Amino acid sequence: MIDLHIHTNASSDGQHTPAELFSMCRELGLLSVAFADHNGIGSLAEAIRLAPEQGIEFIPAVEFNSYHRGTIDLHVLAYGIEPGSPALLAWLAEIEEEKRWQSAERLKRFRAIGFALDEADVDRFSAGRTPTGASYLKALLSRPENAGDERLPPYVSGEKANSPYYNFYRDFLRDGPVFVPLEGVATPKVIQRIRGLGCLPVLAHPAQVAGGVVIELAAAGLAGIEVYCNYHDAERRNHWLAAARRLGLLVTCGSDFHGAFYKPDIRLGSITGGEGVDLGRFREALAAARSSAAHSR
């Protein structure tokens, strides 16, 4: 059993520490895992320190937000991250600057559609980390001025309360009125920068992404597709498995686990079909990516 897409509390919508997650992974019998927080490496030093005593293969990773053609929000997993890499640290600083701009624009849009919200609210719930759907929803719910807004109850006790923070992110930040793309994180550029770090870029939970988009990303250097995940039913799994084989891309498996508080319907290591992932091929591709990047420097 493997799970190559796990969030720690270094993500503002992650619940568990690396130590807690390793303990949970051992209880489940997971053999290979990757921690991949949003646009950050806050958990990786601790995880790398703890990993040798866990009896579990650990792959350090980051989940980067990106935008394709300016409007399609895609997440790209970078496997094989070296937390001390100067190039990585410089890139993360660039992303943080862009994210600050994006957050300010989102605040304007939230206010424009009638919500009470300011920067201090969001900062309080993101605790210095990249704001996520969880940060914004908790901030909105904390303001008494929003208490009577009929748009919020579905995420608290209604039809979207099964996974409130993800649903809110999807409805408002990804596909809705508060969507703010970042020009500096165009998906092909993100893929190329991941390659430049000697890492493997893998498209996370593509779900309904158009096949033509993935063909473009493969040409830009995409290494794989997260075929097996909690957002894909059997039809989607078969679709993306066929696409990966057709394009010669790696097949990976990840739960996108954040903890029951943030995503109660997502369980650690609970991915149908994940046993079909060829980890040997994955390791070979990662070694080749490192070698290629080293030779190009």
pLDDT, one tens digit per residue, over 79-125 is 999 999 999 999 999 988 888 898 999 999 999 999 999 999 999 98
CA angle at 208 for the pair 30 and 155, rounded to the nearest 5°: 75
pLDDT at 207: 84
Residue 28 has a pLDDT of: 94
Sheet holding 224-229: strands in order across? Answer: 2-6, 32-38, 57-68, 72-79, 200-203, 224-229, 250-254
* 192 has pLDDT over 90: yes
Percent of the chain residues topping a pLDDT of 70: 98
Q: What is the mean pLDDT of residues 44-65?
A: 94
The answer on pLDDT for 62 being more than 90 is yes
What's the alpha-carbon Rg for the chain, to the nearest Å? 19
**Identity of residue 253:** C
* 115-141: average pLDDT: 89
* 25 CB-side CA count, 13 A: 33
How does residue 175 score in pLDDT terms, banded at 50, 70 and 90? Answer: confident
Average pLDDT score over residue span 64-80? 88
Topology given in CATH for the domain delimited by 2-96+185-296: TIM Barrel (3.20.20)
pLDDT at 297: 64
277-294 per-position pLDDT tens digit? 999 999 999 999 998 877
* Nearest residue to 182 via CA among 256, 72, 81, 62: 72
Among 64-68, 70-74, 102-106, 222-226, which range has the highest average pLDDT?
Answer: 222-226
Burial of 164: CB neighbours in 10 Å, binned 0-12, 13-18, 19+ = buried
Q: For 109, how many CA atoms within 13 A lie in the half-sphere containing its CB?
A: 15
Q: Which residues of 204-239 are buried (b: 16+ CB within 10 A; e: fewer)?
A: bbbeebeeebbeebbebbbbbbbbbbbebeeebbeb
pLDDT, mean over the chain: 92
Indicate the DSSP class of residue 263.
Answer: -
Residue 13's pLDDT is 86
pLDDT band at 132 (very low <50, low <70, confident <90, very high): confident
Residue 141 corresponds to which tokens in the numbers above? 């719910």
Residues 6+ away with beta carbon under 8 Å from 230: 205, 255, 256, 265, 266, 267, 270, 271
Tokens of 236: 């989607």
Residue 74 contacts by C-beta under 8 Å, 6 or more apart in sequence? 66, 67, 68, 187, 203, 204, 206, 209, 213, 217
Per-residue pLDDT band at 24 (split at 50, 70, 90): very high
End-to-end CA distance of the chain: 36
Instruction: Return the domain boundaries, the chain.
Output: 2-96+185-296, 101-174
* For residue 182, pLDDT beyond 80: no
Closest by alpha carbon to 217, among 199, 251, 196, 191?
191
Higher pLDDT, 292 or 253: 253
pLDDT tens, 261-272? Answer: 888 888 998 888
pLDDT at residue 250, rounded to an integer: 97
Predicted confidence (pLDDT) per residue in 1-20, tens digit:
899 999 999 998 899 999 99
Asked whether the CA dihedral 17, 173, 272, 245 is positive or negative, the reply is negative
Q: Rounded to whole angstroms, what are the CA distances from 174 to 4, 64, 101, 148, 171?
A: 23, 14, 16, 24, 6
| Alpha-carbon torsion (125, 127, 131, 134), positive or negative | negative
